[in-house]
């Protein structure tokens, strides 16, 4: 199996916590993202071939091919049979590939800035939803929160994630601002990339608190209290970021 080679033996400090194992294709996926940024490649630009990437990054072609599969699934790279590799085209109202061009999902500064951006977005979306949400939209937000709760209670991560996605996008939709909805969707997509590449999926132990925080946001929106809704959204994003920080700390330092 390709991956980071294990050290030959203990170092000078035998008590030092070993770095967690990470597959080689994951590391190469990060290197390819950095290369795209360094070469200033934009949506639709042709990338180096698999052979060129392998030579440039000092990796086998097999590992590069697996890394390309990850990046293709994440919407960062497009492989065209017989033509080569390309930076993924723009998608959506705000051009997701342009956002991806400068966002590195393994750069912690980028991740923290993304959380800061989400905080601004979702406070605004919650504030607007408290004054604009229709009865149908309120029911959809409530149903999404319940789906998330059931996912937590049953231990079904996919159900929790689906409810979480529907909850946040439901609030953005209830803001009745299509630009805000597109921005919230795009920021969540980028955050998902950071979790998929850097943290192997959903992280941390914040699920139980997140369920209650969702309930607080929903109640404030239902009650038509814009400032309470914005405050509850800020608390939720701040706690989610803190959970992310704790998980990074755990993985780095054990």
Please report the pLDDT score of residue 136 as a whole number: 94
Work out the percent of the chain whose per-residue pLDDT is above 90. Answer: 43
DSSP states along 4-51: PPPPSS--S-TTSPPPPP--HHHHHHHHHHHHHHHTT--TTPBPPPHH
Please report the pLDDT score of residue 44 as a whole number: 86
Please report the pLDDT score of residue 33 as a whole number: 84
| Claim to verify: residue 26 and residue 68 sit in the same structural domain | yes
Please report the pLDDT score of residue 200 as a whole number: 41
Please report the pLDDT score of residue 105 as a whole number: 63
pLDDT tens, position by position, 4-55: 344 444 444 444 444 455 678 878 888 898 888 888 888 889 999 999 999 9
| Claim to verify: residue 56 and residue 108 sit in the same structural domain | no
- What CATH number is associated with residue 240? 1.20.120.530
Mean pLDDT across the chain, nearest whole number? 81
| Claim to verify: residue 92 and residue 107 sit in the same structural domain | no
| Claim to verify: residue 115 and residue 20 sit in the same structural domain | no
Please report the pLDDT score of residue 147 as a whole number: 95
**210/71: higher pLDDT:** 210
| Claim to verify: residue 109 and residue 88 sit in the same structural domain | no
Interacting residues of 137 by C-beta distance below 8 A, sequence separation 6+? 129, 170, 173, 174
- What CATH number is associated with residue 16? 1.10.10.10
Please report the pLDDT score of residue 191 as a whole number: 81
| Claim to verify: residue 17 and residue 75 sit in the same structural domain | yes
| Claim to verify: residue 128 and residue 108 sit in the same structural domain | yes
Q: How many domains does the chain have?
A: 2
**76/46: higher pLDDT:** 46
Last residue of a domain, one of 98, 120, 142: 98
Name the pTM for this structure: 0.61
Last residue of a domain, one of 98, 131, 161: 98
Please report the pLDDT score of residue 75 as a whole number: 73
Q: Which pair of tokens denotes residue 181?
A: 């909805």
Q: Which domain holds residue 155?
A: 103-253
pLDDT tens, position by position, 88-99: 864 443 445 555
* SS3 (DSSP) at 80: strand
């Amino acid at each position: 199996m390709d991956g980071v080679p294990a050290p030959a033996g203990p170092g000078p400090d035998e008590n030092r916590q070993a770095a967690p194992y990470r597959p080689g294709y994951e590391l190469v996926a990060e290197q390819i993202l950095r290369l795209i940024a360094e070469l200033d490649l934009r949506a639709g630009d042709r990338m180096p071939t698999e052979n060129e990437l392998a030579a440039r990054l000092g990796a086998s072609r097999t590992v590069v091919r697996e890394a390309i599969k990850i990046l293709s699934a994440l919407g960062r790279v497009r492989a065209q049979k017989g033509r080569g590799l390309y930076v993924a085209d723009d998608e959506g109202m705000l051009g997701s590939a342009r956002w991806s061009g400068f966002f590195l999902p393994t750069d912690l500064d980028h991740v923290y800035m993304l959380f800061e951006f989400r905080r601004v977005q979702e406070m605004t979306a919650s504030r607007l939803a408290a004054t604009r949400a229709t009865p149908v939209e309120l029911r959809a937000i409530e149903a999404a929160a319940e789906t998330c709760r059931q996912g937590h209670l049953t231990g079904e991560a996919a159900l929790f994630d689906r409810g979480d996605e529907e909850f946040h996008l439901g609030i953005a939709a209830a803001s009745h601002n299509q630009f805000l909805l597109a921005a919230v969707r795009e920021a969540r997509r980028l955050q998902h990339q950071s979790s998929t590449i850097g943290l192997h999926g959903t992280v941390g132990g914040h699920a139980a608190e997140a369920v209650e925080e969702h309930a607080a946001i929903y109640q404030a929106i239902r009650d038509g209290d814009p400032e309470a809704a914005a405050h509850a959204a800020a608390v939720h994003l701040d706690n989610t970021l803190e959970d992310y920080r704790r998980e990074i700390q755990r993985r780095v330092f054990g």
